[in-house]
Amino acid sequence: MIPQVHLHSLCLLILYLTTGYSQEGKFSGPLKPMTFPIFEGQEPSQIIFQFKANPPAVTFELTGETDNIFMIEQDGLLYYTRALDREARSTHNLQVAALDASGAIVEGPVPITIEVKDINDNRPTFLQSKYEGSVRQNSRPGKPFLYVNATDLDDPATPNAQLYYQIVIQLPMINNIMYFQINNKTGGISLTREGTFRGALVGLSRSEKGSSWVCFFQRHFLFPSPLLLIGAKELDPDKNPSYNLVVSVKDMGGQSENSFSDTTSVDIIVTENIWKAPEPVEMVENSTDPHPIKITQVRWNDPGAQYSLVDKEKWLRFPFSIDQEGDIYVTQPLDREEKDAYVFYAVAKDEYGEALSYPLTIRVKVKDINDNPPTCPSPVSVFEVQENERLGSSIGTLTAHDRDEENTANSFLTYSIVEQTPKLPMDGLFLIENFSGMLQLAKRSLKKQDTPQYNLTVAVSDKDFKTLCSVQINVIDINDQIPIFEKSDYGNLTLAEDTNVGSTILAIQATDADEPFTGSSKILYHIIEGDSEGRLGVDTDPHTNTGHVIIKKPLDFETAAVSNIVFKAENPEPLVFGVTYNESSFAKFTLIVTDVNEAPQFSQHVFQANVSEDVAIGTKVGNVTAKDPEGLDIRFSLRGDTRGWLKIDHVTGEIFSVAPLDREAGNPYRVQVVATEVGGSSLSSVSEFHLTLSDVNDNPPRLAKEYTGLFFCHPPSAPGSLIFEATDDDQQSFRGPHFTFSLASGNLENDWEVSKINGTHARLSTRHTSFEEREYIVLIRINDGGRPPLEGVVSLPVTFCTCVEGRCFRPAGHQAGIPTVGMAVGILLTTLLVIGIILTVVFIRMKKDKGKDNVESTQASEVKPLRS
């Protein structure tokens, strides 16, 4: 019978041999520090490693955290006897030593680490079987108000312990809309957007919902746009005050079918939203209480919100503030007369500066107190009343003002007359209506001769204040006197018909007994007869009422030699009833105009005509007209006809062509026409005649410029091309010219080609490279396509020459006008010979002149007399 321990060793040996652990280096080796990862839950009696002993070692010893699980055989076979549990111990720290036959340690001990690797053998469990929480209506979506928590004993660094939360059931479920959501990783429960807002922006008025305020706050307070897209359903505590959620948790990140799970129940109570606009506030103006004064408050649904106020109107003085508790204060006394109401907004933000919800409208009305006295409309209010006005007639209305609130007792005003100056002919001549301020004549009609002006002091009062206003009443004269001319006939006045326009020819005078410098005494003079053409006018001197008769249009002997002029003098103010103008307000004079010989007068300053430039010689191209004021005959002539194109009929003024016209020579063609009276003083006048010539196609196309120096380098390596431009002198249409181009001779087609680029430019190209080194004349036909079409044949000189640095090089001997080398040498020798001859002649002449001077000098010394 085999002992049990030896039987166990034998089984391990068989397992060791059959599983390949005997392979040197992978599952066996010398004694050294090692680490072995082993998954928990595996079958027991698993071999870990085979340590090799070096003499004198004959056996091995195992110590450390064996937990009676790990064993080692004498031959160094390390194994464990039952399944490992990571949750009990995740790492086992062992030591292995090699012993000799006497049991002494000869090698080691060395550390051996067993790392227990996790498997998913633990299900997640919620910390509570039931959770309870509350949320306020219209809370911010996505912000957790409750957390559920679960644990998993597996390794948190592996997917085995990665938990995934989700809401399985929501009760009640209305219209299949989820009002709640959960963060899959943290377990935070929050509202969805559908569960946050109902179908209106609570806190904004109807007009504000449709105004730019929504955009304003979205832009300035970081509202996400979906936040403003209102959900169709809402979380309403009046309809459903509580909800129940079933929440599940899975390990393996919820991604495996083999994951474990757990569930819990969540009860949620919905409470009323407290983020609401407060009631409008009324503040009494000019309060003397210490400031700041709390006037209202706002509260966000959760603590920790950051509050601020926004004034869209951007007043320089914004007298409100808010603290971080949401209390709103007025910081200084308000003045209703400066601003009677304030509308601003309270905003709540989170710690990141993002708006938690829509802004709340804060309305403050400033209550009026009677702190303003009445004010007069002006320092002195002036009214007028006509003399002889009936009793009770309205003189005018004194309207004072009060800055306090309208239609209240604070601004209700009463009027009373305190004093009248002077009290002539009696006191109390005027009344004022107590509430309206209307002034009336009270006792008798007024006379300007008695008193021309009255001054009243009027008391204007509200319930607490009184203001004295000054009123001036002027008694004005009534227009009961008519203007009277100082004489009714101003006799005869003779003027030449060429008297200058603007000349004053007569002064007339009328007087009026009404009050001076008023509308009743001012005189206006009108010519009512004898001047139907309006040649005369009358200006009135405002200080003296003198009328100055002025020539406004030229006088004309031929149409009005004698005019009987009648004046009427009137006032701008209407006369009182029963008074009318009579013969005293009328005067006359006779204007006699004498004849003056005048030059003929053309019917217009400039005569214009338009003809085609190809009209036949002798065609009538225009005519002019003139007349002589005295009726004399007129003779017409031309001046400035520099091209000799025109002639004029001396009697009729008709103008004819006498030579071919050419628009391109000048257009329009301008000449002067002279009209001279026949007989008399032979006076003349001048007018302009402008003849505009319309174009015909009478000019063939031509090159736009002279093309010289066109060349190709010789010998050409490839066909080349040149660009040239055409034009003509005819008038071009708005589309510009449309020339066509072709070679003028069929003999050129083998060597050259012409292609059109646009309406004015074409390209001349060579067809081959076998050209001689010389000049070629290329004839090109250009057609203008006009009506009728005209053609022009132009020549382009093109030279094939040797090129040096991109330029055409021509040897001097081959250029016309340049002498040959032999000719140049001959010219040089001839020039040197001529210079030599000239120098020789000059030298000989100088030598002769020097000998002559010596002879003269000798003779002079011989005849020189002796001095005594």
- Spatial separation of the C-alpha atoms in residues 481 and 510, rounded to whole Å: 12
pTM, entire model = 0.42
Residue 556 scores a pLDDT above 60: yes
Per-residue confidence (pLDDT) for residue 262, from 0 to 100: 94
CATH 3.40.50.2300, applies to 281-367:
no
State the DSSP code for 26: T
CATH code, residues 601-694: 2.60.40.60
- Buried-exposed string 299-334: b where 16+ CB fall within 10 A, e elsewhere: bbbbeebebebbeeeeeeeebbebeeebbbbbeebb
What's the mean per-residue pLDDT of the chain? Answer: 85
Per-residue confidence (pLDDT) for residue 819, from 0 to 100: 53
Fold adopted by 702-808? Immunoglobulin-like (2.60.40)
Domain 484-575 belongs to what architecture? Sandwich (2.60)
- Spatial separation of the C-alpha atoms in residues 13 and 381, rounded to whole Å: 132
Task: Please report which confidence band the pLDDT of residue 258 belongs to, taking 50, 70 and 90 as the band edges.
Answer: confident
Residue 221 scores a pLDDT above 60: no
Task: Please report which confidence band the pLDDT of residue 680 belongs to, taking 50, 70 and 90 as the band edges.
Answer: low
Residues 6+ positions from 831 with CB-CB distance below 8 Å:
none
CATH code 2.60.40.60 region(s) in the chain: 25-117, 125-197+234-271, 281-367, 380-476, 484-575, 601-694, 702-808
State the DSSP code for 86: T
Nearest to 237 by CA among 137, 363, 323: 137
E strands, 462-572, are 466-476, 484-485, 489-496, 504-511, 524-529, 536-540, 546-551, 562-570
Nearest to 191 by CA among 139, 227, 240: 139
- Spatial separation of the C-alpha atoms in residues 788 and 696, rounded to whole Å: 9
State the DSSP code for 613: T
Fold adopted by 25-117? Immunoglobulin-like (2.60.40)
Task: Work out the end-to-end distance of the chain between its first and last CA atoms, rounded to an integer number of angstroms.
Answer: 196
Which two structure tokens, joined as six digits, stand for 420?
A: 């009248």
Q: Which residue has the higher pLDDT, 425 or 630?
A: 425
Task: Please report which confidence band the pLDDT of residue 282 belongs to, taking 50, 70 and 90 as the band edges.
Answer: very high
Asked whether 184 and 165 are in contact (CB, 8 A), the reply is yes
Please spell the DSSP secondary structure of 241-284, one letter per residue: -EEEEEEEEESGGG--TT--EEEEEEEEEEE-----PPPPEEEE
Per-residue confidence (pLDDT) for residue 1, from 0 to 100: 41
φ and ψ at residue 95, rounded to 5 degrees = -135, 135
The mean per-residue pLDDT over the stretch 212-237 comes to 49
Nearest to 357 by CA among 277, 429, 291, 452: 277
The mean per-residue pLDDT over the stretch 232-255 comes to 85
In this predicted structure, which of 17-26, 509-518, 635-644, 734-743 has the lowest mean pLDDT? 17-26
Q: Which amino acid is at 769?
A: T
CATH 2.30.31.20, applies to 125-197+234-271:
no
Residue 653 scores a pLDDT above 70: yes
- Spatial separation of the C-alpha atoms in residues 528 and 523, rounded to whole Å: 15
At the fourth CATH level, which superfamily is domain 380-476?
Cadherins (2.60.40.60)
